[in-house]
Amino acid sequence: MKRDGRTAALVAGGAGAVSLAVTLAHPLAGLAGVNIVALVAEVAVLLLLTVRTIRRSPARRAAVSATLSCAAVALILLRAVWPGPPQLALGACSAWSLGAVAATGIGLYLRRLDDNRRRAVEEATRTQRLGLARDLHDFVAHDVNGMLVQAQAAQVVAGALPEPVADALRRIEDAGQRALASLDHTVHALGERGPGIEGLARLADAFSPGVRVELTVEAAPRQEVSSLAYRVVTEALTNVRRHAPRATAVVVEVREEGRVVRVRVADDGGGSSPGTRIGGGFGLAGLRDLLEARGGRLVAGPHDRGWQVVAEIPA
């Protein structure tokens, strides 16, 4: 499309320049008389090129090329009326310039239609991506979470297990963790901006049935900050599910403190090594890098009987 637009601008500008040169050559060379059929055909070609270049070409190229072709159309009757009264030449040029104005209007109208069509397609594509992201988040991730919880519960509740069974459960847990990380990355890639803090209540309600989530939200940040806060809480809760199967309570706080939104997630599931809880890839480590790049910070470590994650996001 870009190459086609540039070609149209080049052709229209070149044709306009040649037509202007021929028009100016008539009085300078003392030429008289014109072929009316050829003149009308030339005007028709110039008008079509004007419409096409305004519709398809980048704005700057379209402006230059359309100016040349429109000027050529407006002045072309000088070949027929020269020499003659100035009033006749002015009237003829003014009348023919209406054709150039009409061609410009048609080109701009078609350009606007093309822009509206392109925006509609982009919006439809974005809506499909967001719908897919919601389905992955609400259904697929929920089911994977359920499988992961069952595998973790089996390792804790069942007591001593035969080594092959314990090894199989560990492999299931590892596979579930990798699937959750991949789903999280895919959801954010598809959804561009994920849900915000308005979705935290639903997230807390859908958490593990055996874990009480105490949610406090005292902030109303802009959408970008709200989405980041939601991602921090989501990742922190995912880490609780993965690494603290004995947790019975989780505290989630989102508060606006001056120009910072402070997010805190704390559990009572016992401490873990920083490498185990923070990890890498698209987890807390990735979020920490993202927040630091935006002037915020994220810290995680042991707290009382468990672990806590604290993030500060510039509001």
| pLDDT the model gives residue 289 | 81
Judge whether 99 lies within some domain.
Answer: yes
Calpha distance 303→277 (Å, rounded)? 13
What are the backbone dihedrals phi and psi of residue 312, each rounded to the nearest 5 degrees, phi first?
-120, 120
Which of 92, 123, 154 is at the close of a domain? 123
Judge whether 92 lies within some domain.
Answer: yes
Calpha distance 290→224 (Å, rounded)? 13
58-109 residue pLDDT tens: 888 899 999 999 999 988 888 777 776 778 778 878 888 898 999 999 999 9
| pLDDT the model gives residue 279 | 47
Calpha distance 219→225 (Å, rounded)? 10
Looking at the structure of the chain, the number of domains it has is 2
The answer to whether 284 and 309 are in contact (CB under 8 A) is: yes
208-241 burial, b for 16+ CB within 10 Å, e for fewer?
beebebebebebebeeebbbbbbbbbbbbbbbbb
Single-letter residue type at 160: A
Judge whether 88 lies within some domain.
Answer: yes
Judge whether 97 lies within some domain.
Answer: yes
Judge whether 141 lies within some domain.
Answer: no
Calpha distance 19→75 (Å, rounded)? 9
| pLDDT the model gives residue 194 | 58
Query: H-type helices in 136-162, by residue range?
Result: 141-157
Tokens of 266: 């704390």
Distance spanning both ends of the chain, measured CA to CA = 41
pTM score: 0.49
Note the maximum CA span of the chain.
110
CATH no. for residue 303? 3.30.565.10
Which of 105, 123, 141 is at the close of a domain? 123
| pLDDT the model gives residue 102 | 93
- The whole-angstrom distance between residue 293's C-alpha and the CA centroid of its chain comes to 20
| pLDDT the model gives residue 188 | 67
- The whole-angstrom distance between residue 95's C-alpha and the CA centroid of its chain comes to 47
Instruction: Report which of 12, 5, 1 is spatially closest to residue 64, judged by C-alpha positions.
Output: 12
Q: Do 215 and 105 sit in the same domain of this protein? A: no
Which of 101, 123, 145 is at the close of a domain? 123
Q: Rounded to the nearest 5 degrees, what angle is found at the Cα of 208, between the Cα atoms of 206 and 213?
A: 75
Q: Do 302 and 201 sit in the same domain of this protein? A: yes
Give one DSSP letter per residue of 281-314, joined into a string. TTSHHHHHHHHHHTT-EEEEEEETTEEEEEEEEE
| pLDDT the model gives residue 93 | 83
Q: Do 95 and 210 sit in the same domain of this protein? A: no
Tokens of 1: 């499309």
The answer to whether 53 and 12 are in contact (CB under 8 A) is: yes
Tokens of 20: 């202007």
Judge whether 109 lies within some domain.
Answer: yes
The answer to whether 245 and 270 are in contact (CB under 8 A) is: no
Q: Rounded to the nearest 5 degrees, what angle is found at the Cα of 291, between the Cα atoms of 269 and 240?
A: 15
Judge whether 159 lies within some domain.
Answer: no
Intervals of the chain under pLDDT 50: 273-282
Q: What sign does the CA torsion over 80, 84, 89, 95 have?
A: negative
| pLDDT the model gives residue 271 | 62
Judge whether 6 lies within some domain.
Answer: yes
Tokens of 94: 């003014």
Q: Do 227 and 314 sit in the same domain of this protein? A: yes
Q: Do 198 and 314 sit in the same domain of this protein? A: yes
Q: Do 116 and 218 sit in the same domain of this protein? A: no
115-124 residue pLDDT tens: 899 888 878 8
Which range marks the domain in which residue 198 is found?
Answer: 194-315
Integer CA distances (angstroms), 315 to 2, 223, 262, 294, in order: 39, 10, 10, 10
